[in-house]
Structure 1
Amino acid sequence: MARQTGTYAIATTTGESVRAFIPADLPPAAPPLDPASYEVLNRQAEISVARLAGVSGLVASIDWLLYSAVRKEALLTSLIEGTQATITDLFDEEAGLPVANADDVEEVTNYLAAYRFVREQLQMPNGLPLSMRLLRQAHARLLDGVRGHGRQPGEIRQTQNWIGGTRPGNAAFVPPPADRVQDLLSNVEHFIHDPEPSLPPLVRIALVHAQFETIHPFLDGNGRIGRLLIAALLEEWRLLPQPLLYVSGYLKEHQAEYYRRLSAIRTDGDWEGWVSFFLEAVDVAAQTAQSNIIDIASLINNDRTRVLAVPKSSAAAYRLFELLATMPKFTVERVRAALSTTFPTASAAVRVLEEAGIVRETSGKASNRTYAYQGYIDLMRR
């Protein structure tokens, strides 16, 4: 039995009349989602996510893992949208160093700000719940001062948009008319907050992401906000205690299939194909993150021992090593400020880590030198 996944309405934009797709409400119905299509994949993905949560205990400080995972997700979700920033660019920007792709880096840092805002709100007793109001405020931060800043940041669109093509008439996809968006988003919110859900959490996340992308409620930034929603739901529904999973890596690697699976929902009613693809993405991403955490834990433990073995090691040097989790590139002045100490003490701490072979000077300058924790950077660039 073919599934009816939506209807069409005639919308007029830029002087053209087009057929705009209006998706049916969640969850899929007539027929409902076939459990046989997702049960095995869902079980495997849940196991991988649970193992990821468990292996995070290998690292004493969660900061090492959060810094890495959140920045990887920020970079990868932005790469899907065409930015050219690298992890090294991001480290340079955070260290106050000049970067070649300044505009692209700003888009990545805006994503970090948007996601940080969402997490803070969800963790605060009086914060906003996971809702379109919260996502609108995140969207305003995402587009603040970057490409797309003139496209109504933080506002649900009031006009017809389209995806692909040079004009509405040859677009790859035309989302629902603006006057239908609010009701469609309300259904997504109700689905998220259903007190008695009938589907497993990962399957529900797959449905929410696809529906959000189909509604395309903003004039720009829909992909990044939709993928931010994945990360937020993983925490909100207690699948992960921290945002350690960067699903956008798999989605970037299989970008054409990602878009094809989303499109097949609208054209063929193939929710099962999309859910299977998404569960595989979660499974692979969780296993990749597990492997990276094990490598980071090994690096940190070995290097911590090396710091303590240096004869001139000091409390300041040890404190600096622990700070490398969130500043893998730095200047002595940045160390001085981070340690709230004197310049000579900061310089001595850097020399200890340099002598231990943990950090190295990268600028080649006689003054205002830059240092990098290259082993950690290399793991994050992988």
Structure 2
Amino acid sequence: MTRTTGTEAITTTLGESVRAFVPRPLPPTEPPLASASFAELNRQAELALARLAGVSGLVPSVDWLLYSAIRKEALLTSQIEGTQATLTDLFDDEAGLKLRNTDDVEEVTNYLRAFRWVRGQLRDPQGLPISVRLLCEAHRLLLGGARGAGKQPGELRRSQNWIGGTRLGNAAFVPPPPQQVGDLLSDLERFIHVADPELSPLVRIALIHAQFETIHPFLDGNGRIGRLLIAALMEQWGLLAEPLMYLSGYLKQHQAEYYRRLSAIRSEGDWEGWVAFFLDGVVAASGDAERSIIDLASLITADRKRLLESPKAGPISYRLFELLPMMPRFSVEHVRQRLETTFPTASAAVKLLEDLGILTELTGQKKNRVYSYQAYIALLSR
């Protein structure tokens, strides 16, 4: 039996009338979701997340891991939408160094701001729950700045949008008409907060992400907000205490299939194919994050040992080293400010770490030098 996952509604923009897709409320019915087809994959995904949570104890500070994991997710989710910024650009921006592509970096830092705000709300007993209001405010933060100014930041769209093609008439997909977006999001919110869910948390997250992308409630930023929703639900439902997994890496690597699987829900009713793809992604992304943590822990442990064995090492150089995982590129002035010390003292600490092969100077200049924890950045950039 073929499942119908939505209905059609006539929508008109700039004199063109086409059929827009209006999704049915979750969960899938007629027939219900065939959970048995991916039960083992769901078990593997939950185990992979549990292993990832366990391995985070290898590093002295979970803040180090969060610093890199959240930035990788911010970068990769933005790259899916065509942003050209790199991790190095992001680190340079945070160090106050000169940038090449400031608009692209702004898009990534906006995502970071939105993500941190959402986490803060969900951890605050008086904060907003996962809701339309929460997503609208996250959208306002995401689209802050020059590029998002004309895209109605923080507001549900009031006009018809489309995906692919140059106009409505040749679009690859036409989401629901704007007047139906509010009700569709209310249905989605009800599904998120259902009291006694029959489906596992990961399967529900897969369904919610796809439904959000189908509704496409904003003029821009739908993909990034939809992927932010995945991370928020993972934490909210206790699958991962800290957002250490960057699923956007898997989705970027399999971008064509990501879009094809979402499309097959609408065209063929294939919810099962999408859920299996999503669970595969959780297994792969958890494994990647786990290996990354082990590699980072090994690097930091080896470099710390090198520093401790140096007869020239002292309190300032130790403090500088502990900053490196959350400050991998910097100037001496940056170090002076962070350590609240004198310029010569900061400079001597940096020089020691450079002599030990931990830091690399990048400019070759006598003044305004920039230093990098290159081995660490190389691991993060893999």
TM-score, length-scaled by structure 1: 0.98
1:6-47 alpha-carbon deviations (Å, 9 max, x no partner): 100111111111101100001111111001221011011111
Q: For the residues of structure 1 that align with 2:338 and 2:5, how far apart are their CA atoms?
A: 54
% identical equivalent positions: 69
Q: Which residue pairs with 2:242 in the alignment?
A: 242
Give how far 1:270 is off. Answer: 0.3
Q: Which residue pairs with 2:176 in the alignment?
A: 176
Q: Which residue pairs with 2:274 in the alignment?
A: 274
Q: For the residues of structure 2 that align with 1:218 and 1:152, how far apart are their CA atoms?
A: 8
User: Are the aligned partners of 1:234 and 1:240 in contact in 2 as well (CA < 8 Å)?
Assistant: yes
User: Are the aligned partners of 1:106 and 1:146 in contact in 2 as well (CA < 8 Å)?
Assistant: no
Q: Which residue pairs with 1:323 in the alignment?
A: 323
Q: For the residues of structure 1 that align with 2:111 and 2:146, how far apart are their CA atoms?
A: 11
Q: Which residue pairs with 1:341 in the alignment?
A: 341
User: Are the aligned partners of 1:310 and 1:355 in contact in 2 as well (CA < 8 Å)?
Assistant: no
Q: Which residue pairs with 1:161 in the alignment?
A: 161
Instruction: Write out aligned runs for 1:49-198 (5 A).
Output: 49-198=49-198
1:239-281 alpha-carbon deviations (Å, 9 max, x no partner): 1111100011111111110000000000110000000000001
* 1:366 equivalent in alignment to 2:366: yes
**5+ unaligned residues in a row in structure 2: which ranges?**
none
SS in 1 for 2:11: strand
- The residue identity in structure 1 corresponding to 2:279 is L
Moved more, 11-20 or 215-224: 11-20
SS in 2 for 1:324: helix
1:279-314 alpha-carbon deviations (Å, 9 max, x no partner): 001110000110000000101111111111111211
Give how far 1:147 is off. Answer: 2.1
Q: For the residues of structure 2 that align with 1:145 and 1:233, how far apart are their CA atoms?
A: 27
Give how far 1:357 is off. Answer: 1.4
- The residue identity in structure 1 corresponding to 2:130 is L
Q: For the residues of structure 1 that align with 2:311 and 2:330, how far apart are their CA atoms?
A: 23
Q: For the residues of structure 2 that align with 1:113 and 1:250, how far apart are their CA atoms?
A: 22
Q: For the residues of structure 1 that align with 2:83 and 2:316, how far apart are their CA atoms?
A: 38
Q: Which residue pairs with 1:215 in the alignment?
A: 215
Q: For the residues of structure 1 that align with 2:105 and 2:318, how far apart are their CA atoms?
A: 30
Give how far 1:354 is off. Answer: 1.5
* 1:4 equivalent in alignment to 2:24: no
Give how far 1:148 is off. Answer: 2.9
Q: Which residue pairs with 2:356 in the alignment?
A: 356
Give how far 1:125 is off. Answer: 2.0
Moved more, 299-308 or 95-104: 95-104
SS in 2 for 1:325: helix
Q: For the residues of structure 2 that align with 1:14 and 1:90, how far apart are their CA atoms?
A: 40
Q: For the residues of structure 2 that align with 1:192 and 1:337, how far apart are their CA atoms?
A: 45
Give how far 1:363 is off. Answer: 1.2
User: Are the aligned partners of 1:107 and 1:146 in contact in 2 as well (CA < 8 Å)?
Assistant: no
SS in 2 for 1:85: coil
SS in 2 for 1:38: helix
Give how far 1:352 is off. Answer: 2.2
Give how far 1:345 is off. Answer: 1.9
- The residue identity in structure 2 corresponding to 1:339 is L
Moved more, 303-312 or 325-334: 303-312
Q: For the residues of structure 1 that align with 2:237 and 2:315, how far apart are their CA atoms?
A: 40
User: Are the aligned partners of 1:162 and 1:175 in contact in 2 as well (CA < 8 Å)?
Assistant: yes
User: Are the aligned partners of 1:55 and 1:294 in contact in 2 as well (CA < 8 Å)?
Assistant: yes
Q: For the residues of structure 2 that align with 1:60 and 1:303, how far apart are their CA atoms?
A: 14
1:308-356 alpha-carbon deviations (Å, 9 max, x no partner): 1111211111111111111100011111111122222211221221122
Moved more, 220-229 or 139-148: 139-148
Q: For the residues of structure 2 that align with 1:159 and 1:360, how far apart are their CA atoms?
A: 51
SS in 1 for 2:220: coil
SS in 2 for 1:262: helix
1:218-238 alpha-carbon deviations (Å, 9 max, x no partner): 000000000011111111111
SS in 1 for 2:242: coil
Give how far 1:87 is off. Answer: 1.1
Provide the alpha-carbon RMSD of the alignment.
Answer: 0.9
**5+ unaligned residues in a row in structure 1: which ranges?**
none
Q: For the residues of structure 1 that align with 2:318 and 2:275, how far apart are their CA atoms?
A: 46
Give how far 1:68 is off. Answer: 1.1
- The residue identity in structure 1 corresponding to 2:353 is L
- The residue identity in structure 1 corresponding to 2:312 is K
Q: For the residues of structure 2 that align with 1:317 and 1:193, how far apart are their CA atoms?
A: 50
The number of residue pairs the alignment matches comes to 382
SS in 2 for 1:371: strand
Give how far 1:117 is off. Answer: 0.8
SS in 2 for 1:18: strand
TM-score, length-scaled by structure 2: 0.98
